[in-house]
Structure 1
Amino acid sequence: MSDVDGRIAASRAELEATLDAIEDKLNVPKRVGELTEKAKSSYESNPMPWIIGGLSAAAVAIGVVAWAILSNDD
């Protein structure tokens, strides 16, 4: 194999590795699964911030609904 053939093979291998890395980063189901596992682990280690966050989100949602119902924007 000549020097040119070796460089071509190395370039192809590098391109293949780059494309595999891009494909891995753009793999949405895999990323969602990883995020889900991180969230589960975080909740299991310390659930209090998750509970406070959930209650806060519920309070905001209730406030928005109440504001929409009770506002006089006729």
Structure 2
Amino acid sequence: MSDATSAAKAAATQARHQLADTLDELEDKFNVPKRTGELVEKAKVAYKKNPVPWIVGGAAVAIVAVGLVAWAIFGGDD
């Protein structure tokens, strides 16, 4: 084999490996169950570190939900 053929095969092999690595990275990045699990773990750690903002946020959501239900029940049908 000539040096040009060997170099072309080596370049093709290297390009194939780079493409495989890129596809693996993309697959990992768009893996929704894995990303969801990571987000849940981050939330758990943040809650354990400081639960006050989570409690305040939950209370705010509950107040808004109760307000919307009350508005729907007691609001006029103008």
Give the TM-score category using the shorter length.
Answer: over 0.9
| Stretches of 4+ aligned residues off by more than 6 angstroms | none
Work out the number of aligned pairs and report it: 74
Identity within the alignment, %:
54
| Coordinate RMSD, CA, aligned | 1.1
Task: For structure 2, list consecutive stretches of 5 or more residues without a partner in the other structure.
Answer: none
Task: For structure 1, list consecutive stretches of 5 or more residues without a partner in the other structure.
Answer: none
The corresponding residue for 1:27 is 31
Q: Give the alignment's TM-score, normalised by structure 2.
A: 0.91
Higher CA-based Rg? 2
Residue type at the aligned position of 2:18: E
Q: Give the alignment's TM-score, normalised by structure 1.
A: 0.96
Whole-Å separation in 2 of the counterparts to 1:65 and 1:9: 63
